[in-house]
Amino acid sequence: MAGRPTVGILALQGDVREHAALLEDLGARTVRIRRAEELAEIDGLVLPGGESSTIDKLARAFDVRDALVDRLAAGLPAYGTCAGLILLADRLQGGIAGQRTFGGLDVAVRRNAFGRQRESFEAELDVPELGAPPVRCAFIRAPAIEEIGPRARELARLPSGEIVAAEQGVILGTAFHPEQTGERRFHERFLALVARAA
């Protein structure tokens, strides 16, 4: 990485375009990732929102899963939003039969944690690490972090108590979609992790 980082966006399914636009705007080069070979050239990876069980299935069908798990374990910086957070979690609750995650983040995540009446909502969230102002974020059939293991740490929780953002070394996960509300600070933080790892 000479100056400008190359960030891969896992493009099997989900909201790839919004992440690409925001990351390019913040000065990164972005590439879509669908195949194992494509992982070789990246300095960091974004796992977008979408449907985690579909992304899991496609990752196996496209034969990219094993290479991805290996690179994450070897210290590739990663940022997962919503379904992406689910895919980064070491432990999954409420998955469909046979659903697996890639892992990397020492947390247990519950899929669709907010039930029907709040399937989608926006919230203002205090994130001490990001300072003022609060983060405006969109939750879309979002997961929640049920339990944080000793290697990860909480970054934010809703007033109702659910943990919705966590970090572990160079891995970052949010249950919400900052890319859909014009919030740039999580992506900036991720790019700082990418720079640190380089």
Q: What SS3 state is found at 82?
A: coil
User: Could you identify the residue written with the tokens 């899963």?
Assistant: 65
51 binds ligand GLN (CB under 6 A): yes
Question: Cβ of residue 77: shortest distance to ligand GLN, in angstroms?
Answer: 20
User: Could you identify the residue written with the tokens 């469909």?
Assistant: 96
Q: Determine contact, residues 114/145, Cβ cutoff 8 Å.
A: no
Catalytic residue from among 167, 179, 183, 187? 179
Question: Cβ of residue 3: shortest distance to ligand GLN, in angstroms?
Answer: 32
Active-site residue, 179 included? yes
Candidates 45, 76, 83, 109: give the one binding ligand GLN (CB under 6 A). 83
Catalytic residue from among 82, 137, 162, 187? 82
Active-site residue, 124 included? no
Name the residue nearer to ligand GLN (CB basis): 5 or 49. Answer: 49
52 binds ligand GLN (CB under 6 A): yes
180: tokens are 């859909």
Active-site residue, 82 included? yes
Show the 3-state SS of 108-125: EEECCCCCCCCCEEEEEE
Name the residue nearer to ligand GLN (CB basis): 83 or 171. Answer: 83
Q: Determine contact, residues 191/78, Cβ cutoff 8 Å.
A: no
Determine what percent of the chain falls in helix, strand and coil, rounding each to the nearest 5: 30, 30, 40
Binding-residue pattern over the window 85 to 104 for ligand GLN, x denoting contact by CB under 6 A: -x------------------
Active site residues: 82, 177, 179
